[in-house]
Amino acid sequence: MYERSGTLFEGPYRAILISDEVYILHLCRYIHRNPVEAGLVERPEDWPYSNYLEWIGRRGGTLLDRDFVTARFERPEAYARFVMDYVPPAHVEDSVRRIACE
**Residue 5: pLDDT above 60?**
yes
Q: pLDDT by residue (tens digit) across 34-63?
A: 999 999 999 999 999 999 999 999 999 888
Provide the pLDDT for residue 53.
95
**Residue 102: pLDDT above 70?**
no
Provide the pLDDT for residue 92.
52
Specify the long-range contacts of residues 51-55, CB closer than 8 Å, at least 24 apart: 52/83, 55/28, 55/79
Region 12-25 average pLDDT = 84
Q: What is the pTM of this model?
A: 0.72
Dihedral angle computed from the Cα positions of residues 39, 45, 48 and 52, in that order, rounded to the nearest 10 degrees: 110
- The residue length of the chain stands at 102
